[in-house]
Structure 1
């Protein structure tokens, strides 16, 4: 049995993991799927003060209060940038980090630093014009950007997307690199279709020694292919040396 902490990305919430969570739980694994402050069912907590440090607190508080150890920390999309500070503050509680189609930053970088410049400019414009200067408005159109093609899935997920605090995109992520580097790490790249915004993050993860796996889905792999995602996570969590390739 493994312990999994599944963390959603921008505009999502615990809801996006429901079928992956069920698949892992049915196989005897212990699974936690928190909604980060201001996201999912915690949308009423959204404010301009919510940032990266808020979400680091969310995860490290959960690890401490539940007294979790040997946890496989699975980070999707935006939440990938939380890996370094969580590994530093939750020393001794993590077994491994899995970046599931996630962004990866170096110490001192923010999310927009690792986005393509044209994407960062677009987000800044959307925040200024439609987000009162402090949030990125949720829009079902993002599902197209993320490669979600199934119309039934789009109709279900679209209304559940939540506005995303801009501070999470601009707040630098500060952490000592040692604790993260000491953990087994795996980057899961999605290929059907890929997301070019993740190219820099993937390259950084590989450069820093992460193992690599792949799934032939779009960006929201937990929604599009929950069973395949669960099987991959179980395979990554199996004892033994990391797998160096897809």
Structure 2
């Protein structure tokens, strides 16, 4: 068995674990044999929301694969991040990021949206769902924080209104007092394996600062947030450093939620784009 065939078999096995045989229809090597099934599949609209320090660029490989299957994919970049890093201000916060994504969905007349957020993009997509209501058909948290009414922000104030000590200690290292820097607080293995030289180099070039207010402002549940809609939690099972826990997925294990274990590192959209794209295509 040559290396190319081995790679194909391994990739098919991983895809079958997360999405079943239907996901294999998207693979180039079986597309010709399954053309009628692919053509009959309903095109979906995805809005992919990046996590802290990233930008819309992080979804490029996944978006390419979903586009190739006939789906529509929007990958907005939040204010203060990615190519919009220069727009960061002291008052850039969660509301700003929610408005960024809502504006793209509305400007693009997107309906029946499958809204997916990564990491602390879970806060942003909850706010978007709360604001846009019926436009959002399905909300999925890709190794992301699920906020709740009891914990509507990642960083919660103490009973006396003060910030917790761990947060105040971290603030001392923020650029200009409000710009969070990934490399000041986390090792690269938080995102990709330490031996993944290509993606490490990419992340070192691409990661930007991030507005602290996106972590501290409570998200709105005025219209229910993610409640009363199709919800999925996608957990990355190959994450070895600080893997997601109950603190992140919260209600994701409860009745009414779909749970998917996906065999990737936290930034699987970079390390395993085929697997992640197949997982996303199975939603809705």
With normalisation by structure 2, the TM-score equals 0.76
Q: CA–CA distance in 2 between the matches of 1:204 and 1:72? A: 19
User: Helix, strand or coil for the counterpart of 2:277?
Assistant: helix
Q: CA–CA distance in 2 between the matches of 1:124 and 1:208? A: 37
Match of 1:169 among 215, 231, 236: 215
Unpaired stretches in structure 2, ≥5 consecutive residues: 1-42, 157-163
Post-superposition offset of 1:198: 4.0
User: Helix, strand or coil for the counterpart of 1:181?
Assistant: coil
Q: CA–CA distance in 2 between the matches of 1:233 and 1:121? A: 38
Cα distance change, pair 123–136 in 1 and its aligned pair in 2 (3 A):
farther
RMSD of aligned residue pairs (Cα, Å): 2.1
Residue 18 (1) aligns with residue 60 (2): yes
User: How do 1:114-129 residues align onto structure 2 when only pairs under 5 Å count?
Assistant: 124-129=168-173
User: How do 1:47-58 residues align onto structure 2 when only pairs under 5 Å count?
Assistant: 47-58=89-100
Q: Per-residue CA shift, 1:165-223, capped at 9, x if unaligned?
A: 11111111122363522211100001112544543222322236321001121111111
2:228 aligned partner: 182
Q: CA–CA distance in 1 between the matches of 2:255 and 2:133? A: 19
Cα distance change, pair 27–197 in 1 and its aligned pair in 2 (3 A):
closer
2:256 aligned partner: 209
With normalisation by structure 1, the TM-score equals 0.87
Q: CA–CA distance in 2 between the matches of 1:130 and 1:156? A: 23
1:240 aligned partner: none
**Aligned pair count?**
232
Unpaired stretches in structure 1, ≥5 consecutive residues: 114-119, 238-246
Q: CA–CA distance in 1 between the matches of 2:81 and 2:197? A: 23
Match of 2:142 among 100, 103, 106: 100
- Higher deviation after alignment, 140-149 or 31-40: 140-149
Post-superposition offset of 1:85: 2.2
Q: CA–CA distance in 1 between the matches of 2:267 and 2:75? A: 15
Match of 1:111 among 149, 154, 157: 154
2:5 aligned partner: none
Post-superposition offset of 1:10: 0.4
Q: CA–CA distance in 1 between the matches of 2:203 and 2:125? A: 26
